[in-house]
Amino acid sequence: MKIASVSVIICSILLAGCSSATKPVYEKIPDDIPEEGLVSIPYLKTLCTGRSSVIDKDVSIVGTVVANDLFGEFYKTIVIADSGGGIEISIDKIRLYEYFPLYSEVAVICNGLALGRVGGKITLGAVPTGEYATDRIPYSEIGRYVVSVTEYPAAPDPAVVTIPEQSVEHVSSLVMVENLHIVDAECGISWCDCIDGIYTDTERYAADADGNMLVLKMYGECSYAHEAVPKGTVSLAGIVDYSDGEYSMRIANHYILEKR
């Protein structure tokens, strides 16, 4: 089957109201979407050839929501991943977890969106109108570009990696790093610093038994910003971040498993 526009095929499963301020419709993706239209997330990233690249091809991606704003960790952002990698999608809407629950599967119609590269990390959003590499996809256009196709599948198992094993393939993907300890100077204090009564974005540090360090980027608006950093051994699951040659982790889905 030749494709005239993958948008036509996927959008045919939507109701007219999806382009307005309503939740996307949950449907099953048709089995006959042509391979040339449905591409992998790693392939999509290759279309980013500069700081900002507008997508003018009839391509779409399908992935599992591995992070959202359920615990306030990713503001106006969902992170989806397929078997090859993941990508952050910027959407101008809060409470995105109501639209795109954790571990639901979504399809993204990419034609007309833009890929942005900041610090070496590629993200997906709307065509920029100002200084940013991408803008957020407007709330009124969510249903035009992003649609949930299964609502509550089983939670995926994060890839277990060590700190030295982190690589570009893991960026914006869900991973778990086991047998870590938070550096002594930070044990017992809150995950985020509190300045004048407001919790702020903060970096914390964890290390493995060999002394390899992992930077943890904590968002001040997360629901557990006030909680104490644990002592002892922990396992952390999160989204691998990347900026200017350095890897870090953003804890996802409040996954902090303590082992006393």
Query: What pLDDT is recorded for position 4?
Result: 34
The Cα 84–Cα 95 span in angstroms is: 27
pLDDT, tens digit, for every residue of 88-147?
999 999 999 999 999 999 999 999 999 999 999 999 999 999 999 999 999 999 999 999
The CATH number assigned to the domain holding 47 equals 2.40.50.140
31 & 127 share domain: yes
140 & 40 share domain: yes
12 & 139 share domain: yes
86 & 169 share domain: no
Query: What pLDDT is recorded for position 40?
Result: 94
Count of domains observed in the chain: 2
Does residue 205 lie in a domain region? yes
pLDDT, tens digit, for every residue of 197-241?
999 999 999 999 999 999 999 999 999 999 999 989 999 999 999
Structure tokens at 214: 């992992």
Q: Which residues form the domain of 181?
A: 159-259
128 & 240 share domain: no
Query: What pLDDT is recorded for position 5?
Result: 35
Cβ atoms of residues 110 and 60 within 8 Å: yes
54 & 116 share domain: yes
Burial of 204 (0-12, 13-18, 19+ CB in 10 A): buried
Q: Which residue has the higher pLDDT, 36 or 236?
A: 236
Q: In the chain, which residue ranges form alpha helices assigned H by DSSP? A: 6-11, 41-45, 142-145
- Per DSSP (E only), the strands in the chain are 52-54, 60-67, 77-81, 86-90, 105-109, 114-118, 121-125, 146-150, 159-160, 174-182, 194-195, 198-199, 202-207, 213-218, 233-243, 246-259
Does residue 1 lie in a domain region? no
Does residue 61 lie in a domain region? yes
218 & 253 share domain: yes
The reply to whether the predicted model has a pTM over 0.75 is: yes
Our CA angle for 81, 123, 36, nearest 5°, is: 60
The Cα 249–Cα 219 span in angstroms is: 11
Average pLDDT of the chain to the nearest whole number = 86
Query: What pLDDT is recorded for position 148?
Result: 87
119 & 183 share domain: no
165 & 198 share domain: yes
Q: Which residue has the higher pLDDT, 48 or 256?
A: 48
Query: What pLDDT is recorded for position 46?
Result: 94
Section 25-50 average pLDDT: 73
Helix (H, G, I), strand (E, B) or coil at 65: strand
